[in-house]
Amino acid sequence: MVSACACLLLAALARPVTAQSLPTGPITTAGGRLTIGGEASASVSPSDEYYFDYSDYNYNLLRQVRADAAAVLRLGDRLALLGDIRVEGPVGEGPWTLRPYALFARIRPWPRRAFDVQAGLIPPVFGAFSRRAYGPYNPLIGFPLAYQYLTSLRPDALPASADDLLRMRGRGWLTRYPVGSLTADHGVPLVDGLHYQTGVEVHAGNNDPIEVSAALTAGSLSAPRVSGAGSGAQVSGRFSYRPVPSLVLGLSGARGVFLSRSVTDVLGAAAQQASNDQRALGFDAEYSHGHWLVRTEGVLSSWRIPALAAPFIDGPLRAFGIDVEGRYRIRPGLYAALRVDHLGFSRVAGSAGELPWDAPVRRIEAGGGYSLQRNILLKVAYQYNRRDSSYTRTSGLVSAQLLFWF
């Protein structure tokens, strides 16, 4: 199915464009049943030597090239097939990847009602940022810490003790633990903002005063899985309320299986009695007035993992991320933006004393954008990061991004 969808998208985009310029909106063909859109961006910045913007793709998100081809094929009033094929990779390096970013069926049992069921590789329902992470909807270039910053936790490897965990504080881009995979690898963010999830979702409301979404997917918020086989399930949901057109308030929740099958197989019978989940609560708000747009979002996540050796990891490992973002339109086509971000962690007791289980991080990103034309946007930003650890405490990066969409 993935190969067929890829061929469909590439064939559709390969057809000649009659206009002498780049398309300015989605392309509709097949009698209006097939709609094709696309997006391409290139982001550049100095090398992130301290891995503040490192992603689970093993490169800096401020130094990447990305292209999407998305399509909607309507097979009637009740059924549509949606796909998004993505090519992305680091600037000037390899390897680049080609993968299905989204691939699902949307069923509307009652065409005139704002209710649908989606099944396949579906958008996440938790939180607000994942649905506006790309394109012009993100006024800056970086991601909020809760959706991108790699903690020291891994679903495929476990610390046996609190000392093992504390030794990896502030090293989420490359951690190593004695249980499970022994290969050094990256950790996970509170919420994975780079991948969609496999499962089924129901959604009621469409820009109505009240919207409700719920989903059953594979894995957890920080470690979604494409295959549901043996990976455990996650239940998630979001409720949003729009009392007036300019204000949206949202609440989210999720609970899913965190550890991968490779770890639970190593633990054997002990895994059946041990804790193994990620739970999260989130809130978000958005307010617009005149030239202003203000957003805030918070994520409280907790992971429960087996306590295997002394000094024991006693209780869940908690983390809280919060950001406040503002955008001001100076004049048509030109805006300024600012995001302030914090990520904190609960404390655990090791042999040398009590510390947050990972190093707290703060981020400020300021910048702006200028529209060269309606669908070509140039962004420039400066990002300052501070990590409360003895290793790589601060970093400042200037970045630029050129974005085109249709």
Residue spans of beta strands (DSSP E) within 219-272 = 233-244, 247-256
DSSP state, 132?
G
pLDDT of res. 389 = 84
> What angle is formed at CA 101 by the lines to CA 99 and CA 105, rounded to 5 degrees?
120
DSSP state, 92?
T
Task: Classify 228 as helix, strand or coil.
Answer: coil
Where is pLDDT greater, at 132 or 291? 291
Task: Classify 103 as helix, strand or coil.
Answer: strand
Closest CA to 169 of 372, 367, 397, 350: 350
Read off the pLDDT of each residue in 103-116 and give the average, rounded to a whole number: 96
Read off the pLDDT of each residue in 260-271 and give the average, rounded to a whole number: 79
Read off the pLDDT of each residue in 29-58 and give the average, rounded to a whole number: 93
> Residue 274: pLDDT above 50?
yes
pLDDT of res. 95 = 75
CB burial readout 109-138, b (16+ within 10 A) else e = eeeeeebbebebbbbbbbbbbbeeebeeeb
> Residue 268: pLDDT above 80?
no
Domain ranges of the chain: 2-405
> Residue 304: pLDDT above 70?
yes
Residue spans of beta strands (DSSP E) within 276-360 = 277-289, 292-304, 317-331, 334-345, 347-350, 353-356
Any idea which of 41-50, 182-191, 272-281 has the lowest mean pLDDT?
272-281
Residue pair 237/255 in contact by the 8 Å Cβ criterion: no
> Residue 20: pLDDT above 70?
no
Residue pair 260/235 in contact by the 8 Å Cβ criterion: no
Task: Give the confidence band of 6 by pLDDT, cuts at 50, 70, 90.
Answer: very low
Residue 204 CB coordination number (10 Å): 14
pLDDT of res. 56 = 84
Residue pair 300/318 in contact by the 8 Å Cβ criterion: yes
Read off the pLDDT of each residue in 61-86 and give the average, rounded to a whole number: 96
> Residue 4: pLDDT above 50?
no
Question: What pLDDT digit, counting tens, does each position of 136-155 carry?
Answer: 899 999 999 999 999 999 99
Strand partners of residue 71: 36, 83
Read off the pLDDT of each residue in 98-104 and give the average, rounded to a whole number: 94
Task: Give the confidence band of 212 by pLDDT, cuts at 50, 70, 90.
Answer: very high
pLDDT of res. 88 = 93
What separation in angstroms does the CA of 60 have from each of 23, 143, 317, 386?
A: 30, 11, 26, 17
Considering the segment(s) 2-405 as one domain, its CATH architecture is Beta Barrel (2.40)
pLDDT of res. 266 = 84
Residue pair 196/234 in contact by the 8 Å Cβ criterion: no
Percentage of the chain with pLDDT > 70?
Answer: 92
> Residue 248: pLDDT above 60?
yes
pLDDT of res. 227 = 67
Average predicted confidence (pLDDT) for the chain: 91
The widest CA-to-CA distance across the chain, in whole angstroms, is 70
Where is pLDDT greater, at 265 or 235? 235
pLDDT of res. 269 = 63
Phi, psi (rounded to 5 degrees) for 111: -55, -30
Residue 111 and residue 104: Cα distance in Å, rounded? 18
pLDDT of res. 3 = 37
**Token reading at 111:** 């065409």
> What angle is formed at CA 265 by the lines to CA 216 and CA 319, rounded to 5 degrees?
55
Question: What pLDDT digit, counting tens, does each position of 343-395 carry?
Answer: 999 999 999 999 999 999 999 999 999 999 999 999 999 999 999 987 678 99
pTM of the model: 0.90
Where is pLDDT greater, at 1 or 138? 138
